[in-house]
Amino acid sequence: MKFNELVKPFPHLIITDYYDSEELKLIWEELDFYTKPGKLFTAKDFGGTLTNSHAIALDELYAAENGKFRNISDILTVGRKLFSPEVIDTFSQIHDSCEIAKWCNWDYTKVRYYHNHESYKPHTDHPFQFLAFSYFYREPKKFSGGELYFPKYDYELTCENNSIIIFPGWVEHGVREVSIKGSDYYDGFGRYCISNFFGSKQTKPNRNQELREVFF
């Protein structure tokens, strides 16, 4: 893992080469499983208007008996790396506003897939949450666009394969439109993002809000 700790234009941490080869193998096997007709949902399915991409909320999928079955998902299992001391302590030390990340006690995860003409309009999340977006795509890369952008800061990041960015939920962000040619939607050559939302129980959204935020 290679760490890049940044304070401006807002506190954020970028890590490249985030997962090792064995972890990536497990992640891709699960991503391939979800990239089939009928397995991913669109925002329209839930009344959402901010994105036309497809997604699935893993914590809802494996929520039975208080998350007893989370270990069925390799993405949820290897994704606990986010909360390792090496990662979370580094992020919490970037700025005073990030220090509370060390005491997070809830999180949820969704997988989002962008293909041709799909994007996400600028928005903010819960002001006391933190966000962690990890990116994946097949190589050679077939799409353009899909940058993570922050309109209030005139700041934009190209999503590097097997990288993660962690930043506060109050920062407005969006995803540029993806453009791809010569690719069927379900061949898996689009832009994948595994999104983690985490914070403390005191700032946890209620269940209905969680479900709505999966797609809004």
Beta carbons within 10 angstroms of residue 137's beta carbon: 21
Q: Strand order of the sheet with strand 130-136?
A: 2-6, 12-16, 163-168, 130-136, 191-199, 106-114, 54-57, 41-42
Per-domain residue ranges of the chain: 2-213
Which residues on neighbouring strands pair with residue 14, listed in sequence order? 4, 165
What pLDDT sits at residue 68? 73
Over the stretch 76-90, which tens digit does the pLDDT of each residue have?
A: 999 999 999 999 999
pTM of the entire structure? 0.91
Which superfamily does CATH assign the domain made up of 2-213 to? q2cbj1_9rhob like domain (2.60.120.620)
Over the stretch 111-131, which tens digit does the pLDDT of each residue have?
A: 999 999 999 999 999 888 999
